[in-house]
Structures are given as structure tokens and as C-alpha cells.
Amino acid sequence: MADNPTVEFALRMGDNCLVLGQNVSAWCGHAPVLEEDIALANVALDLIGQTRMWLGLAGELEGKGRSADDLAFLRDVREFRNCLLVEQPNSDFGQTLMRQFLFDAWHHPMLKMLSGAADARVAEIAEKSVKEAAYHLDRSTDLIIRLGDGSDESHHRMQGALDRLWRYSGELMAADAIDEAVVGPGLGDIEAQYKDYTSKVFGEATLTIPEAAFMQKGGKVGLHTEALGHMLADMQFLQRSYPGAQW
Amino acid sequence: MSNEWPLWEVFIRGQHGMSHRHVGSLHAPDSEMAINNARDVYTRRNEGVSIWVVKAGDITASAPGEKGPLFEPANSKVYRHPTFFDIPDDVGRM
Amino acid sequence: MYAQEVKSTGKGVLSLEEMDPVERAFQEKVNAGVKIEPKDWMPEGYRKTLIRQISQHAHSEIVGQLPEGNWITRAPTLERKAILIAKVQDEAGHGLYLYCAAETLGVSRDQMTEQLLSGKAKYSSIFNYPTLTWADIGAIGWLVDGAAIMNQVPLQRCSFGPYSRAMIRVCKEESFHQRQGYDIMMKLCAGTLDQKAMAQDALDRWWWPSLMMFGPSDAQSVHSAQSLAWKIKQDTNDELRQKFVDQTVPQAKYLGLSVPDPDLKWNEEKGGHDFGEVDWEEFFQVVSGNGPCNADRMAARRKAWSDGEWFRDALMAHAEKHSADKVAAE
Ligand SMILES: [Fe+2]
Ligand SMILES: [Fe+2]
């Protein structure tokens, strides 16, 4: 780990965006309806754009001459710092939307708080991203409510998605010394906001948060689920097969 | 097949001081989602626009307006602009 | 082109004198460059031909997402990934605009989707070829979007208002597609030997299918004449194909790639290139379902549609429930 906590923190933020963006982008051309294809592509584009900023910052502060692309395409699984939630496979559209909502409900307040971070570069990236995250959260909130309180089948699917994915939500809030060093003392507020917001939305969506779920974690320190390795094999294929080539 | 989302006509105010203009249509289950979809489809999230949606079936005089305004793609997506790509002059028109 | 196999229903073009007064007024309007709008009177053949042409065009945009979408998750840099997502997203938008234009003629998007998925409706043959390497993404942007743009620019002047307006929006968005493809090719051709070989291989595989995009020779097409008279088509297939070859050959030369046609040579007299005969047997096989990827493309679209059914239905159910709430509250 680098001495500068901002490097590690920027990797976490960047890897979250990259892995989620990569997953979301795989829906291009396969979504349930054209309007949704277009909307999802916007989300993926925002996330990839944010990835470039965070990983760019991480590479620069690290000082080893690694670009955002080097970090995205030439690190192995154990070096990835994203939370486990975002690497969960797309599965059905309900799981994709639930994953997005559980992430957005954390991402937006986090970026809002980071807009006031002591490190000006961090604050600047957060500032640029926060509007996009607000829109993502609006959209995913709306869809969670509609699908939870839609048909019997959609209710059932969304409850199943929540049951499966809720266990990965705790890691988002589990702050360590690195988060504290960069974000500052407000981290507890994010957790409180997250609890309030998600329970309000799930209430409206007529969905039940699984009680006493065991919260999984490990992504922040590079202990991932098996899904990430497969994603990287796909994503990094060209860079790995043609070392040093320019694209 | 009988359960198709209704068709909505989309009107956008491109700049302050301009009136809303018809830009196209889309499908959505209700007006709120039509607004969201219009934002994604017809503005690619440009800030500061105002959107109206009207159920196509509710329009009486249905002659669509003259050609709608063409929104620039979002500024951050510079690669959507042809000038982003440096194509040498020798290549000819592209 | 994106609508390669549009059969217009006219029985040959009538002269103004042969037409009844209503039809003559219509044709005179078209001749004068006045746009026809959905509620205006139009010959039944005009309406049917347009529905076929616009829906085929829309289907092509939709199926066209798949070969390029195949490389989104493997794009080699973050910037290339973003560009490709934006590009494929644009194609989805084009499909959407075009379906909406066709809907003004009294056919629903669901009906058109049903025709595509049942195999009744056609889409461009080009999208039934596989994208095997990253260079294919370059070749598609350069050649396929290049050919598409060549066809779509004149369609902005189409006599049918909604189609013309959709094409204006489409052309505006298309402008970066070809350039991003050529940009990929330039990078590959300036790269390692492997990369250059990848680029040449892509050109070898995409060249002839790109020429097929313009459709069979007009000499074989009985439908072109009527479409030209109705101004739902502006140039003949052969004219556009010639234009495409003349534009593209120097671009290949600039890249240092060779066009895979031994008969290709400059003809000073006609001021254009002579080129070899397209394998129309292959074209008709691909159009009739026997291309390398027809089955996969259709399977992917059917899966997206049927997997998405619960989602579409649930949102409709929610909207109906809540509009009922609103009424009850009044
Ligand atoms: Fe297109
Ligand atoms: Fe295109």
C-alpha cells in the first residue's frame, strides 16, 4: 500500500466506478426496452468518466508513472480495491438495478461529502461527479419503487435481489483509517443517511430488508469474489495479449 | 403485446427565453418516466433544459412542428464531436 | 443499405397524366419538395413502402448494436471504451427515432419488434458478420458507418417529414462514428506488425460486405424507380456504391492497407474506380438467414425482449395502479 492514503482512497473510488461501469456497459444492446438501453449507457459513460479521473489521480500521486489505463488494465485481482457489491454479476435486470441502487444510495452522499474534502484534487473530482451521481440515484430510486410495487413477479424478483445483495452493502460504510484520513470526521453521517434513505425507499417499494444479514467484506483490501477475476480476464484481454501496444 | 407502453411526444426548451419545441417521441409507462427517458434520449443530460411530455394520443391537431432543435451532445463527451478525431487532410472528406 | 430489400408496392411509375387528381396533387407536392406529413393523404403504396423502409432501417440500427457491443467490455483503453459505449448508444437512439417515425404511419413499435423477432422483417446484411478482433471495431466505424452516412445524408431530404426529421438528427449524431473508426485504424496501422496485420485482416473481411450494404444493382431492382419518384430514395444503389468506393480507396491507401479486390483500378475516363463484382449469391444467402451470425443476432434480440417482459409489464402495472390511486383521490 502506498504511504499516501489518498492514493489508496482514489483507487477505491476509481475501482468502484470502473467495475460497476464495466458491468453496466455489458447491457448495451440487451436491455428490456430501448429507452432503458440508452439510459443505462449514460450511467456507464458517467462511471467510466469518473474512473478516468480517480485512477488518473491515483497514478499521479503514486508517482510511478502509471496512467489510469495502466491501473485499469494491468493490475491483477488482488490489487483491485472496489467493494464486493459492484463486482456482483449482472444476473437479471432486477439484480442489476438493485446493485445500482445500493451503490448510488452510498455514492451520492459520499461524493457530496467529498466535495468539501481537505484535499483539493479529491474535492474537485467529487464536485464534477456529484451531479451525475444524484441523477443515477434519482433514477434507481424511482425504478426500485416502481418494480417493488409493480407486479407480483417484479415484487418477487426485487425482493430476491435485495435478499441476495444486501449483504454487500455493509462494506460501503465500513470505514477504515484510509477513509477517515481522506474523508474526515463526517463518515458516520453517511451511514446514518444510508440507513434512513434505503429504509424509506424500500418501505415505499414494499420490500423488506433482510434482518440480521451477515455483512460480507474484503474488496477494499483486495479480497474479492470469484466474479472479479472473470471480469478482468475479459476487460484486460487486449492489453495483456499485446503488451506495450498503443490503441 | 397488448401491454405496450404508451407513446409520448417530447418538447424541449433548449435555452432560456426560447419556447419549447417538439424534438421527437418515445415510450414510457407514465408521464414521470417519460420525462426521465426524454432526458436520457433527447438531451443526453444537458443541464438547464426544460422538458414537456404529452401523451401522443391526447394531441388533437397532430401536425408535428418543423424540424426540431438539435441538441449538442453533452459537453463532457467531446469524442461525440467529429473534430475530436484528428484525421489528416490527405484522407479527404470524412 | 440499412433498408436493402424494400419492395415498393407500385406497379411501375405512373405519369402525372395517368394519375387521378388526388394522387396527382400528392405527386406534385412531392415534386415541389413539400414534405408529406402523417395526416396528409398519401397513396397506400407510399405508406406501405415507407413503413417497410423505415422499420428495416430501425431494425438495422438495433441489431447493429450487437457486433460492436461485443467489444465494449474488451475495449483496450478507458477512452476507447467510453467512445464505443457512446457510439453504440447512439445506434440505439437511431433505432428509437426511426421506430417513432414509422409509428406516425400507424404501426406500433411492438408490432415492428414482433416482425423482427419472428424473422419476417429484414435488417441490413452487414450485421450478420462477426467482430473477431478489435480492428473490426475500427473497420465497422470506417466502412460500415461510412457507407451508412453516404446513404443517410440524402435521406434527410426524403419527402416524408418524420423520416426526414429523424434522419437529420441521426446524421448529426453519426458525424463522429466514421471518424472514430478511422482513428482506430490509424492507430493500429501505426502500431506493431501484429496490429497492422489485424487492421488488414479486418479490411479484408469487411470490404465486400460493406459494398453489399448498398443493395443489389438497380438494374435488378424493379422497386427503385417508384421510390425515386416518391423521393423516399434519392440516389440509385449503384451510384452510392461507386461514390463509396471512390471515397474509401484513397483512405485505405493512406493507412497503407490494400483493398482486397484484384479488379480495382482507377478509370480516368469515368473519373472513378472500376471494381470487381460483388458476390451476390453470398448477399442473398445472408439476407435470407444464412449469414455467419444471423441466428446469434436474432437469439440475442429475442432473449433481450423476452427476459425484459416482466420489467416492461411491471412498470405498466405500477403506472396503472397509481393512476387509479390518483383518480380515487380526486
Ligand atoms: Fe446509426
Ligand atoms: Fe453509426
Nearest residue to A203 (alpha-carbon basis) of A141, A151, A152? A141
Q: Which residue has the higher pLDDT, B90 or C267?
A: C267
Average pLDDT, chain C: 93
Q: Are C98 and C109 in contact (CB under 8 A)?
A: no
Nearest residue to A83 (alpha-carbon basis) of A171, A214, A195? A171
Q: Are C87 and A38 in contact (CB under 8 A)?
A: no
Is residue B64 included in any domain, yes or no? yes
Q: CA B26, B30, B33, B38: dihedral to nearest 10 degrees?
A: 30
Q: Are A22 and C72 in contact (CB under 8 A)?
A: no
Is residue B21 included in any domain, yes or no? yes
Structure confidence by residue, pLDDT tens digits, C111-134: 999 999 999 999 999 999 999 999
Strand B7-13 vs strand C265-267: parallel, antiparallel, or unpaired? unpaired
Nearest residue to A46 (alpha-carbon basis) of A125, A115, A109? A125
Q: How confident is the model at residue A184 (pLDDT cuts 50, 70, 90)?
A: confident
Question: C37 phi and psi, to 5 degrees?
Answer: -105, 160
pLDDT of residue C7: 60
Cell numbers given for C301: 434480440
Is residue B39 included in any domain, yes or no? yes
Question: C36 phi and psi, to 5 degrees?
Answer: -90, 130
Is residue B88 included in any domain, yes or no? no
CA of C327 to the centre of ligand 2 (A): 44
Nearest residue to C208 (alpha-carbon basis) of C135, C286, C153? C286
Cβ atoms < 10 Å from Cβ of A22 = 24
CA of C125 to the centre of ligand 2 (A): 15
Task: Domain count for chain B, please give it.
Answer: 1
Q: At what angle do helices C44-63 and C161-189 cross, to 10 degrees?
A: 30
For A13, residues 6+ apart whose C-beta sits below 8 A from its C-beta are A50, A54, A125
Q: Which residues pair with B50 in a beta bridge?
A: B13
Q: Which residues pair with B27 in a beta bridge?
A: B7
Cβ atoms < 10 Å from Cβ of B75 = 11
The rounded distance, in Å, linking the Cα atoms of A21 and A53 is 14
Q: Read out DSSP for C170-214?
A: HHHHHHHHHHHHHHHHHHHHTS-HHHHHHHHHHHHHHHHHHHHTT
Percent of chain C with pLDDT over 90: 85
Helix ranges, chain C (H): 21-31, 44-63, 65-69, 78-103, 109-117, 134-139, 146-155, 161-189, 193-212, 224-229, 237-255, 280-285, 294-307, 309-329
Structure confidence by residue, pLDDT tens digits, A51-110: 999 999 999 999 999 999 999 999 999 999 999 999 999 999 999 999 999 999 999 999
The rounded distance, in Å, linking the Cα atoms of C158 and A45 is 33
CA nearest A234 in C: which residue? C74
Q: Is C325 on the interface with A (CB under 8 A)?
A: no
Complex-level ipTM beyond the 0.90 threshold:
yes
The rounded distance, in Å, linking the Cα atoms of C179 and B93 is 10
Structure confidence by residue, pLDDT tens digits, C133-192: 999 999 999 999 999 999 999 999 999 999 999 999 999 898 899 999 999 999 999 999
Is residue B93 included in any domain, yes or no? no
Helices (H) and strands (E) in chain A, counts: 12, 0
CA of C170 to the centre of ligand 1 (A): 6
Q: Which domains does chain A have, with CATH numbers?
A: 5-240 (1.20.1260.10)
The rounded distance, in Å, linking the Cα atoms of B87 and C141 is 14
Q: Are B57 and B31 in contact (CB under 8 A)?
A: no
Structure confidence by residue, pLDDT tens digits, A94-116: 999 999 999 999 999 999 999 99
Is B69's pLDDT higher than 50?
A: no
**Residues of chain A found within 8 Å of residue C86, distances taken between Cβ atoms:** 41, 45
Give the CA count within 13 Å in the CB-facing half-sphere of A77. 15
- Residue C273 DSSP code: E
Ligand closest to Cα of C178 equals 2
Is residue B92 included in any domain, yes or no? no
Q: Are C34 and C84 in contact (CB under 8 A)?
A: no
Is residue B73 included in any domain, yes or no? yes
From the list A35, A39, A49, which residue is nearest B27 (CB)?
A35
Question: Where are any strands of DSSP class E within chain A?
Answer: none
Percent of chain C with pLDDT over 70: 94
Measure in Å the smallest separation between the Cα of A224 and chain C Cα atoms.
20
Mutation site for C-interface testing, chosen from A18, A37, A145 by largest number of C Cβ within 10 Å: A37
The rounded distance, in Å, linking the Cα atoms of C195 and C31 is 51
Q: What is the mean pLDDT of residues B21-44?
A: 92
Residues spanned by the domain of B32: 7-83
CATH of the domain at B54: 3.10.20.520
Tell whether pTM > 0.90.
yes
Nearest residue to C165 (alpha-carbon basis) of C107, C241, C231, C98? C98
**Residues of chain C found within 8 Å of residue B24, distances taken between Cβ atoms:** 97, 100, 165-166, 169
pLDDT of residue C221: 65
Query: Can you give the three-state secondary structure of C119-182, one letter per residue?
Result: CCCCCCHHHHCCCCCHHHHHHHHHHHHHHHHHHHHHHCCCCEHHHHHHHHHHHHHHHHHHHHHH
Is residue B2 included in any domain, yes or no? no
Strand B50-55 vs strand C265-267: parallel, antiparallel, or unpaired? unpaired
Cell numbers given for C76: 483496450
